[in-house]
């Protein structure tokens, strides 16, 4: 059964306040490791009935096969997610918390994606402490079977695999976030996981669910160990250990990244990557989205190089050595303050 906090109406569009931070969004995820491909289909609307959409089809190392972004499209207050088109993207929700059809076509690339839920819809209000107020009024996550076709030029790729979707509505304040990772894992129809792990407003969050052995349970703790490349600062190997409210421990190991997209999101740099994994001893698929401040990523790349032979690397090294200097501390510009 779906969460007690949800109704069938929550699968459709909500009425938002006409406030700059109000936002409702849908995202649909697909990874095809055997083809070194990943897909993100994303749409949103604000309280002023202005909508947007984004689509990414990407390869192993941030290669783009298609990318579109549409913003500020006026929509009727009565338009709903049972028949929703913004730019190239169309979403049609079917039975509440059960089915969805997503499709787009752009620059010779087309997606025809059918989602059928394999888990109950889960909201972060089901975690201890609930859904953070900076993230949404409410947010549902759901794993499922996805099937259809992805067309890239002359290639027509049928797929029948697993995937994930989410739906959030209410206040969204990206500036509250220090860093986050949002992870989705499936092993056939029997194991499905979603979690959000990160920090915002001086708090650390462990949100999401483990769905296995026929039982869905909120996550209570998350341990993380990630190895990254220098070129993109994205995962090349990852290990996660989850504990849920039933006391179960679930281990996830990923050792190969087969698709990666790096793109801007709310002032952060989003790294969406995926590939094969092993979850609870079984083969599965993993999607790891991480959000970092761009300056942090640039600095980490420079420090990982350790040669410091470029202007950028030397500047980062200088910052790393700058401890307690008056010029850095006086003002944002560094040289315009005074000390008495």
Asked, for residue 331, whether it belongs to a domain, the answer is: no
**For 25-37, what is each residue's pLDDT tens digit?**
999 999 999 999 9
Asked, for residue 64, whether it belongs to a domain, the answer is: yes
Pick from 327, 191, 223, 99: nearest CA to 319: 327
SS3 at position 71: strand
More confidently predicted of 312 and 208 = 208
Q: How confident is the model at residue 332 (pLDDT cuts 50, 70, 90)?
A: low
Residues 119, 194 contacting (CB under 8 angstroms): no
Q: How confident is the model at residue 3 (pLDDT cuts 50, 70, 90)?
A: low
- Residues 276 and 279: their CA atoms lie apart, in Å, by 10
**Amino acid 335: pLDDT:** 44
**For 68-126, what is each residue's pLDDT tens digit?**
999 999 999 999 999 999 999 999 999 999 999 999 999 999 999 999 999 999 999 99
- Residues 111 and 70: their CA atoms lie apart, in Å, by 17
Arithmetic mean of pLDDT, 178-197: 97
- Residues 179 and 200: their CA atoms lie apart, in Å, by 7
Asked, for residue 316, whether it belongs to a domain, the answer is: no
User: Can you say whether the dihedral through the CA atoms of 113, 62, 67, 300 is positive or negative?
Assistant: positive
User: Can you say whether the dihedral through the CA atoms of 90, 138, 98, 80 is positive or negative?
Assistant: negative
Written as one string, the DSSP assignment of 135-183 is: T-SEEEEEEEEEEEEEEETTEEEEEEEEEEEEEEEEE--GGGEEEEEEE
Where in the sequence is the domain holding 31, given as residue range(s)?
A: 8-297
Domains in the chain, number: 1
SS3 at position 93: strand
- Residues 45 and 53: their CA atoms lie apart, in Å, by 9
Pick from 233, 29, 1, 224: nearest CA to 126: 1
**Amino acid 323: pLDDT:** 85
Dig out the tokens for 32 from the structure: 């095809």
Asked, for residue 201, whether it belongs to a domain, the answer is: yes
């Amino acid at each position: 059964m779906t969460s007690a906090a949800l109704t069938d109406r929550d699968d459709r569009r909500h009425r938002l306040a006409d406030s700059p931070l109000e936002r409702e969004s849908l995202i649909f995820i697909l990874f095809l490791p055997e083809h070194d491909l990943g897909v993100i289909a994303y749409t949103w609307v604000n309280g002023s009935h202005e909508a947007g959409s984004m689509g990414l089809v990407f390869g192993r190392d941030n290669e783009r096969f298609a990318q579109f972004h549409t913003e500020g499209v006026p929509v009727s207050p009565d338009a709903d997610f049972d028949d929703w088109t913004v730019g190239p993207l169309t979403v049609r929700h079917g039975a509440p918390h059960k089915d969805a059809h997503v499709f787009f076509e752009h620059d010779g690339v087309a997606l025809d994606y059918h989602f059928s839920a394999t888990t109950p819809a889960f909201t972060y209000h089901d975690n201890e402490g609930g859904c953070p107020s900076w993230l949404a009024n409410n947010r549902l996550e759901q794993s499922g079977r996805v099937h259809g076709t992805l067309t890239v030029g002359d290639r027509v790729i049928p797929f029948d695999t697993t995937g994930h979707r989410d739906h959030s509505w209410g206040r969204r304040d990206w500036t509250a976030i220090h860093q986050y990772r949002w992870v989705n894992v499936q092993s056939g129809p029997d194991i499905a996981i979603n979690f959000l792990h990160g920090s915002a407003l001086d708090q650390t969050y462990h949100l999401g669910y483990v769905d296995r052995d026929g039982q869905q349970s909120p996550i209570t703790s998350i341990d993380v160990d990630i190895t990254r490349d220098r070129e993109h600062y994205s995962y090349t190997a990852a290990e996660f250990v989850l504990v849920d409210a039933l006391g179960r421990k679930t281990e996830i190991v990923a050792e190969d990244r087969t698709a990666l997209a790096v793109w801007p999101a709310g002032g952060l740099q989003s790294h969406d990557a995926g590939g094969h994994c092993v979850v609870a001893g079984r083969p599965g698929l993993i999607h790891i989205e991480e959000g970092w401040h761009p300056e942090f990523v640039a600095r980490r790349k420079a420090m990982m190089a350790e040669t410091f032979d470029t202007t950028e690397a030397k500047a980062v090294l200088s910052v790393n050595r700058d401890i307690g200097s008056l010029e850095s501390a006086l003002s944002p510009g560094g040289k315009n303050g005074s000390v008495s």
